[in-house]
Structure 1
Amino acid sequence: MPAPHSSRRNFIKTTGCLTIGFVLLSSSELWADAPAKQDLPGSLQDNPRINAWLELLPNGRARVLTGKIEIGQGIRTAVAQVAAEELNMAVEDVEVVLAETGRTPDERYTAGSASIEQSAMAVRYAAAAARQKLLALAAPVLRMKPGQLRLEQGIIKATDGRQVSVAQLLEGRQLTDEVRQPAPLKPKRDYQHVGRSVPRQDIEHMVRADAYYVQDLRFPGMVHARVLRPPTYEATLLQFDTKALQQAIPGVLKTVIDGSFVGILAEQEYQALRAQDYGRLHAQWSVGRVLPADTPLPELLRGLPGTTKEVASKGDFTKAPATGSLLTHQSSYFKPYLMHGSIGPSCAVALFEPSAQMLHVWTHSQGVYPLRESLAKLLGLSSDNVHVKGVPGSGCYGHNGADDVAADAALLARAVPGRHVRLQWSRDDEHAWEPYGSAMFFDLQARVNPKTGRITHWQHELWSDTHSTRPAGSPEKLLAAQYLAQPQRPKVEDDFSGGIYRNSEPYYQIPALRVQAHAVQGPLRVSALRGLGAFGNIFALESFMEELAVQSRQDPYEFRLRHLTDERAKAVIRKVRELVKDQKLAENEGLGLAFARYKNTAAYCAVVAKVSVDPASGFVRVPRIWAAIDAGEVINPDGLKNQTEGGLTQAASWTLNEEVLFNAQGITTRQWEQYPIFRFDEVPLVEVAVLDRPTEPPLGAGEAAQGPTAAALANAVFHACGKRIRHLPIRPEKLLG
């Protein structure tokens, strides 16, 4: 990130890079008869050249380019580790450039726990290919075979002591060869950096309250802006006296009105904030869309028209079992709308250069390239005339207001060309207008053979909004676009790719299985929130598994193990059982277990939660949570633990506290008082055991803990007080009824 007070000229100058490619040996000479892209990480298949990911600098250091943005997952540190490993240099000698259009690879979104699997592995292969190429280039210079040479700290050394530097070999040029298989990866037995807990340098910036986030950016001559939102969805502007505003609030430069989009620009941030408050009192709006607040949300979801998809089906459901031969059970579960709840409201900075018709945007969006496409279409510009640079922001793990606030800033930057526009959402803006994580409803049924203790039939039916409305080049999905004079309305899509049924199919072995998903359009604006549909689906599935274990009088650990064939899945369950084996429970305390493999293809995670329930107040306290996670090869053990610890805490807050509420006129949970998240004194002590498997591929882990945590807490509450809560959140009043 540039220094917050750097000039625009210096910023653009320092982020530019002249790359001159050359090839001395053909790719076929280096990797004979190898397919060019087969079995390479997905991101590398799309951007197969070395210099898309790696630049070797004259000072012996390396610069890594990743299309992912840092949102707390530690991608900057992890990619530095894998590059340093393959290039045989110190981690401190690898600098990392995060997502920036025209500069880093287009990796679409930082999402789906895919940063390590995609970006870090692309960097690993590119660095390995660079090492091999450098050895081949040095061979004729040193008159040795490549196998007799070693790359170390930017120097290629021969066995007889002669050497040549990378800078001397390249003379300012870069390697542009395509990465091909078989890639010459460094043997894992020789690793020095991967598998070690390398500290994240960005943590120090946070602790010191340095200027680090997009909210901290300041530029000379910068102006401040706020957007005046309508009171509820689809309300339109009837009247707003802009002259009266400028007379009432000194420092207001301009008010931009385009249909029902109202933006206010001022010299100082406090003046912009005062102007926004004035507008809320004096602007007149139409009624807008009336929200269906009279119908309970679970009932509403089930009654909405939608599209049905059969997610999984196997076995025979037509043959009825003999009466009393099987234990049957049925339950329904509910997950409400959830906020991202970012501590720092969304923010962006935009600059429009009229002479070049060029728009620059600084944003914490999780997809700089898709945002560029959306902004270009929104403003009628060529994509080449939109430059988007990713800057870390307050973490959200999903699609919060980052794209929307970038669009707000871009629209207003045209009104003051040549000046940076900083647009900061308020807490009210963020809570009322961000796209929420979708509400979900579930019906589950199962039969258990009491003789074998095995599930014979399983049915899972769910109702949900989509779990992703990211812009992805579609400007109509940006909030501002929906309120312009020529409004662009999002299309209703019968699209199941938004993660509705993620983890709805059990990972357990069940002979007869049927899973159905119903995609509906609920009343609130929704999009991606950490885990997508997996959080709700795993909460329902693992709560139901516990109920079946209780109904059939089986140990909850053994019941799950009995239905698993994957030894890695069994291992995390056994490990977490070992972690809690010495726990003693007092009265009104309980332990609850849950397991899932995220997406049924990524990391394995088992969670045990310990709770105490106050019988007088119904208040649930969570003193401890344990987790065992297997994410394959571990790049940074502390990083993986941090991810899992954060996921456990966030999901515990979702499970016990959080719920978006609304009435007919709009969202009512518009401040922290109405939407409480965990306070510091509520955060449990968490312990994470990592099952490192260095010979296995790395697996996505950032969202692995969410669903198991919710179910583990619900199961623990049941064991503590005997009450089964199936509708989240687990509030005290539900335990007193």
Structure 2
Amino acid sequence: MTAIPLTTRRKFIKDLGYISVGFTLLGACSGVEDPIMAARLDYDGKLPGSMGRAKTVNAWLEILEDGTIRVLSGKVELGQGIRTAIQQVAAEELDMDLEKVQVHLAETGLTPNEGYTGASASIQNSAMSVRYAAATARQELLLLASKKLNTAVDNLLLYNGLVKSKQNKESLTFAEILDGEQIEKEVMLPIPIKDNREHRYVGKAIPRPDIEEMVRGQSTYIQDLRFPGMLHARVVRPPGYTSQLISLDDTGLKSEVSGIIKTVRKGSFVGVITQREYQAVKAEKYLKDHSIWTAPIPFPKSENLYAHIKLIASSPETVKNEGDVAAAFEGIGILKATYTKPYIKHASMGPACGIAMFDGEILHIWSHSQGIYPMREGLATMLNMEPDKIHIKSVPGAGCFGHSTADDAAADAALLALEYPNTHIRVQWSRQDEHLWDPYGPAMITELEASLDKNNKINSWKTEVWTDSHSTRPNKDAGTVLAARYLENPYQMKSRGYLGGGHRNADPYYGIPNITVNAHYYDGPFRTSSLRSLGSFTNIFAIESFMDTLAEKAGQDPLEFRLNHLEDERAIAVIQKVQAHTSTQNNEDGKGIGYAFMRYKNTDAYIAVAAKVTVDKNKGNVGLIKMWAAVDLGEVINMDGLTNQIEGGMIQAASWTLKEEVTFNTTEITSTDWIKYPILKFSEVPEVEVAIINRPSEDAKGAGEVPVPPTAAAIANAIYNASAIRIYDLPITPEKILNA
């Protein structure tokens, strides 16, 4: 993993060779004398957004000299299994065995610029781009081979890196066909892709090879990465967001701590470079104890948080308005409810890490950022460098969906590497820094009003959402990077970031004739950014809890009530599927089952969730017994990876629902460790059962964010059915149940 100059990196990787692990299903084509060519169908739909910046085949894949394929993707591996899914679609379209396809992820100057990995968009953007590029490559290889073999395309067979004549059995490898070149053809519609009925890999449960490495504790993550002569560093954090450094006394540092290489001060940014990691830890503590800072701006009182949010919010923006809600409400009994969610953390199990080395010309960075190209833009602005002088390579970190502290650790390392060139500088964050400086998921308020007509159907609905920004991810605006805010000439964010994520899924996916959705934006006291599912988590918790309340008012079963408001057959199917899976469950005393439904973004995947809980009314304790999900994401690429994603998302959402909350007083954030910020324990994790409805003829959608939003409502509804206690404020703690 030594640094490679940007100008020679493609050649280096081409000459390097590779090691890969794969699984071959249904036999290898190479062992078949005359394989039967799979049928192809012309795809004439919309090309993925990622192809807007990378339109040619060679932007997405390369043919190596040994005939194997290197696929290039700008997405990063977060534990979602994107590498395996991309390998599957490429092998499928090129009729290759899996072990002959390797996937190279996220490296500036080599892979396409696909922005951020997020929004459950990697499958429909990156994997589908690879599919269409591979299908185009196959077509071009056949055309070129037909000329070299002097025969018609219809007389050729393409399989496992070979193109063979049916008549005289003469064959050429992919490398021989291209003769050292790559396929520069633009991907254009229509594209002949393999008929899904003949898929060998897509739709199957292909195991991820990296799982075994994780289980064995092999060096997988950036925290494990080591370079010869590498030095270690820590950054001294201010006492609060707005604090500025008044003075720093490091005169006694070297006498107190051994191994000091250099102390770096750039405005209020203070870092220390040492020979070993523990020396950096001790040096950071010494410098913190010998520094004086301005007092930060006080936080609001925690008990007044939601009142404070409403006080500072802007005038509402109407984001949806259909029918006439005010007229529909007249003369009809209106139901109202308010739901709240606190600030919550990414709470990555592994604190952030960044490594950088400046070779005098190129700044090389290794990072677990979820957007290496946008981060490069932000660092280029902060460091006053040309973007192509910064080379970033993605290395997996502890799984974490959203804008975590990874970019900030990389920025710390970059600043320090420029101060001490030609040496790898490793910045490892502490647990306390991770908990304090993480860009949290914002606190939210969702207020709902609805009414029923004489047929007990919803005839009017109003949603009011209070939300901070849901994405301040790094980009050209250097202020999105934490370190940039503390330099001699500090950068502050030029915009509020992506506010629209706050009202995601705030408009119910039900047939309601009159509906209004208003969003109130506020600029809150804490640093916030994108966290798995953005505002959908709060909004679906509110909507699906409210749907149970409305069903009770209508005197109907909660699932039947939902079905009565749906016409979309795919939505109906997931609800009926989870209904069937839970039909044998009994509502025993102190136990209850709750349900929730969602179509993510109202345009993507469908999911219905059920949760069974037990509630101890004397102690307020909630025990999760089992959770179920029925999911329709269109075409399934990897059944195993998809199931893992749904299970993991539901468990994370259960932790948010029952445990997680950023705590603070007027002077500081107090949830600085796992004791003060508890998460779901392994002993508390319930059994999870997932049913997948595979629709190969439908567009493939991502799964990463889909299971999170409905899980909270399913648990809250289960608690109500077990105890007759409705909790509106997350997390649902024993104290809240006892006080209800």
Q: TM-score, normalised by structure 1?
A: 0.94
1:104 paired to 2:96: no
Sort the Cα spacing of 1:697 and 1:321 in 2 relative to 1 into closer, same or farther, 3 A: closer
Partner in structure 2 of residue 478 of structure 1: 481
Q: 1:520 to 1:90 in 2, by over 3 A?
A: same
- 1:241 is matched with 249
CA distance in 2, matches of 1:185, 1:36: 7
Please identify, of 518-527 and 35-44, the stretch whose mean Cα deviation from structure 2 is larger: 35-44
Q: What pairs with 1:512-551 in structure 2 (closer than 5 Å)? A: 512-551=514-553
Distance 1:37 1:10 in 2: 40
Question: What corresponds to 1:130 in structure 2?
Answer: 137
Q: Which stretch of the first structure deviates more once superposed, 568-577 or 312-321?
A: 312-321
1:487 has 2:495 as partner: no
Q: Name the structure 1 match of 2:640.
A: 638
Tell me, in whole angstroms, the C-alpha distance in 1 between the residues paired with 2:220 and 2:702.
Answer: 26
Distance (Å, rounded) in 1 between the aligned partners of 2:695 and 2:340: 36
Q: Give the drift of 1:279.
A: 2.5
Matches within 5 A, 1:308-707: 308-319=316-327, 323=331, 326-354=332-360, 356=361, 358-449=362-453, 451-493=454-496, 497-707=499-709
1:88-103 to 2 correspondence within 5 Å?
A: 88-103=95-110
Structure 2 match to 1:252 = 260
Counterpart of 1:23? none
> CA-to-partner distance for each residue in 1:392-423, whole Å, 9 max, x for gaps?
11111000101111111100001210000000
1:17 deviates by 5.3
Kindly provide the amino acid, as one letter, of the partner of residue 566 in structure 1.
Answer: D
Contact 2:61–2:133 at 8 Å: present in 1 too?
Answer: yes
* CA distance 1:59–1:322, shift in 2 (3 Å): closer
The aligned residue for residue 67 of structure 2 is 60
Q: Secondary structure at the match of 1:670?
A: coil
Q: Distance in 2 between matches of 1:294 and 1:405?
A: 29
CA distance in 2, matches of 1:168, 1:412: 47
Q: Find 2:93's aligned residue among 80, 86, 92.
A: 86
Partner of 1:274: 282
Q: 1:148 Cα shift?
A: 2.1
Give 1:38 shift. Answer: 7.2
> Where in structure 1 are there 5+ consecutive unaligned residues?
21-34
Per the TM alignment, residue 65 of structure 1 is displaced from its structure 2 partner at its CA by 0.2
2:172 is the counterpart of 1:164: yes
TM-superposition CA deviations, 1:31-74 (whole Å, max 9, x none): xxxx9997211112321100000101111210000000000111
Q: Is the 8 A contact 2:6 2:391 kept in 1?
A: no
Rounded Cα–Cα distance in structure 1 between residues aligned with 2:10 and 2:227: 16
- Give, as a single letter, the amino acid of the residue that structure 2 aligns with 1:190: E
Q: Secondary structure at the match of 1:447?
A: strand
Indicate the SS of the match to 1:505.
Answer: coil
Partner of 2:25: none
CA distance in 2, matches of 1:421, 1:642: 35
Distance in 1 (alpha carbons) for counterparts of 2:201 and 2:10: 28
1:170 shift after superposition: 1.2
Q: Distance in 2 between matches of 1:87 and 1:319?
A: 59
Identity level (%): 50
Q: 2:653 and 2:154 mapped to 1: Cα distance?
A: 51
CA contact (8 A) 1:658 1:675 kept: yes
Structure 2 residues not aligned, in runs of 5+: 16-41
1:345-390: per-residue Cα shift (whole Å, max 9, x none)? 0001000112x2x100000001110111111111111111000111
Q: Give CA deviations for 1:436-491 in whole Å, capped at 9, x if unaligned.
A: 00110011000012x31200010000101010001122111111111111111223
Change in 2 beyond 3 A, CA 1:295/1:675? closer
Contact 2:479 2:493 in 1 (8 A): yes
Hey, what's the Cα distance between the residues in 2 that align with 1:300 and 1:528?
A: 22
Taking a change above 3 Å as real, the CA distance of residues 69 and 584 of structure 1, as seen in their structure-2 partners, is same
Residues 575-613 of structure 1 deviation map (CA, whole Å, 9 limit, x = unaligned): 000111111232110100000000011110100000101
The amino acid across from 1:462 in the alignment is V
After superposition, residues 73-222 of structure 1 pair within 5 angstroms as: 73-160=80-167, 161-222=169-230
Residue in 2 that maps onto 1:30: none
- Alpha-carbon distance between aligned partners in 2 of 1:212 and 1:8, rounded to the nearest angstrom: 18
Tell me how far apart the structure 2 counterparts of residues 508 and 252 of structure 1 sit (CA, whole Å). Answer: 63
CA contact (8 A) 1:36 1:179 kept: no
SS in structure 2 at match of 1:472: coil
- Structure 1 SS opposite 2:458: strand
Is the 2:439–2:527 contact (alpha carbons within 8 Å) kept by the matching residues of 1?
A: yes
> Once the 2 structures are TM-superposed, how far is the Cα of residue 258 of structure 1 from its aligned partner?
1.1
Residue 341 of structure 1, CA deviation = 0.5
Q: TM-score, normalised by structure 2?
A: 0.94
CA 483–333 in structure 1, closer or farther in 2 if over 3 Å, else same? same
CA contact (8 A) 2:625 2:686 kept: yes
* 1:619, distance to aligned residue in structure 2 (A): 0.7
3-state secondary structure, aligned to 1:515: strand
Q: Evaluate the alpha carbon distance shift between residue 679 and residue 15 of structure 1 in structure 2; reply closer, same or farther with a 3 A threshold.
A: farther
| Cα distance, 1:145–1:657 mapped onto 2, change above 3 Å | same
Alignment deviations for residues 685-727 of structure 1 (CA, whole Å, 9 cap, x no partner): 1000000001111012211111100100110110110110000
> Pairwise CA RMSD of aligned residues?
1.8
Structure 2: distance between partners of 1:225 and 1:496: 32
DSSP 3-state at the match of 2:501: coil
**Structure 2 SS opposite 1:527:** coil
Q: 1:28: which partner in 2?
A: none
Is the counterpart of residue 301 in structure 1 residue 304 in structure 2? no
The one-letter code sitting in structure 2 at the alignment partner of 1:149 is L
Q: Is the 8 A contact 1:74 1:639 kept in 2?
A: yes
Question: SS in structure 2 opposite 1:667?
Answer: coil
Cα drift, residue 11 of structure 1? 11
> 2: distance between equivalents of 1:591 and 1:99?
43
* 1:172 to partner: Cα distance: 1.8
Instruction: Measure, in 2, the Cα distance between the counterparts of 1:262 and 1:104.
Output: 34
In the aligned structure 2, how far is the partner of 1:321 from the partner of 1:429?
50
Q: What's the counterpart of residue 37 of structure 2?
A: none
* Equivalent residue, structure 2, for 1:25: none
Cα distance between partner residues in 2 of 1:671 and 1:496: 29
